[in-house]
Structure 1
């Protein structure tokens, strides 16, 4: 009986593998490639932990001649249009691999895409630096017209690049003592948060956090103070409503006649600067303001210092640091 079950399992697995492989394979059977390119398809099922999903196969675009060869490799997943978990997991993995830093978006470039119920994930770091070759640009242009692309968030890519630039300035200015590991990696952020951790803390706070802040957490779940006048960004499990962290500050603002500011502070969530002279707050939308607000507070700043979003704050910090000696 055990042998029979094993045989049936093998048969069913082979059937699933074949049908899934043929499903996405049929899209590429008569696909006309630019000169010099050919397709190789690997039909297999494998569980990928970083995607939390089974892949159904691999699609390879291969270019070979006497002087050069290229391979652009896509991992293929079953995909629903509402499957944001898969794309977020893959995007987080891509950020960790730092592939986005190498893409020149002014030229044709390879990226992950969706087609006919399948998601084709561009495997890091194959293809990311190939856009300088004309034959690769030809293929990228061809794919661009054939497929429904899911562009990675420009704001997330820009944020990662800005934080990398800030890290360079932190090393240059040397206002703090850093660990050997931080100096070697040229990075001062914590390990990225997982989507599960972010969702757990959204439940704890009983609110959906703003997308740009979640993008930041997927890059670094906390970050060393950039300089002596900027706050330390905390891991998401440490953030809380200001009224729970520093009710005395809110009380002082109200008692000094700034009732409106005090009420806003009461709604705010502190994400950076707990126990420090400067802090950074995010303020949820309300009946008067439909968007999240971003405030920096400091004992040496008269009132709040508002920003449109985290990207604006990080970029202004970077500009300030570049002008420091």
Structure 2
């Protein structure tokens, strides 16, 4: 599924909900929860500022919608490219709080870390990676979205939903996989809500 189709489906399913909505419904036209696409020069400017090249699926997302209000029943407020930034600048208090937790930086083996999908343990992640991650959303319902440049799969970076209700981080091999999983989880929850 390409980005325009996926984002359109997310918009329709989320905007139809009466609960679990974390944006002002009065600002929405035509059930579209996104924004205008980011221009290539806007993306390049932010990449130059951050001294990185953003992962391909995230760049493609930005070219479809420069930010997005809500991608699932629980995760939202994806920033426009102009507002993304390193966690040490965007969420320094979170890092300070977590640094005081005993065992937060305990070593985790590659065998345990590189487990994705239902078998991963969201409470077991590498704090050193969290400290170097890129924040691409605001806090919504106790969760926010990060991109981890320390783990790459080709042109993709690992993507995280960091949430207090996991606890910890649910990790994906790409930003696109994260958004698809959030969408599919929302569809399943709504199908089984009765």
TM-score bracket, normalised by the shorter chain, equals 0.7 to 0.9
Aligned partners of 2:90, 2:167: CA distance in 1, in Å? 21
Q: Which runs of 5+ in 2 are unaligned?
A: 107-125
Listed as ranges, the matches of 1:114-133 within 5 Å are: none
Q: Could you state the TM-score of these two structures normalised by the residue count of structure 2?
A: 0.76
Secondary structure of residue in 2 paired with 1:296: strand
Structure 1 residue aligned with 2:9, among 155, 165, 172? 165
Q: Retained in 2: the 8 A contact 1:253–1:259?
A: no
Structure 1: gaps of 5 or more residues: 1-156
Post-superposition offset of 1:274: 4.5
CA distance in structure 2 between the partners assigned to 1:218 and 1:263 by the alignment: 30
Q: Give how far 1:275 is off.
A: 7.5
Task: Tell me how far 1:251 sits from its aligned partner.
Answer: 2.4
Higher Rg: 1
Relative to the length of structure 1, the TM-score reads 0.47
**CA offsets 1:240-297 (integer angstroms, 9 cap, x no match):** 0001111221223232121263321111000012576210000113xxx443111111
- Who is 1:209 aligned against? 54
Q: Secondary structure at the match of 1:304?
A: strand
Query: What RMSD in Å do the two structures reach over aligned CA positions?
Result: 2.0
- Partners in 2 of 1:274 and 1:202 — Cα distance? 23
Q: How does 1:1-325 map to 2 (within 5 A)?
A: 158-175=2-19, 176=21, 177-179=24-26, 181-182=28-29, 185-256=30-101, 257-259=103-105, 261-274=126-139, 277-285=142-150, 289-291=151-153, 292-323=157-188, 324=190, 325=193
Q: Is the 8 A contact 1:192 1:220 kept in 2?
A: yes
Matched residue count: 164
Q: Which has the higher contact order (CA 8 A, sep 6+)?
A: 2
The answer to whether the 8 A contact 2:77-2:140 is kept is no
SS of the residue aligned with 1:193? coil
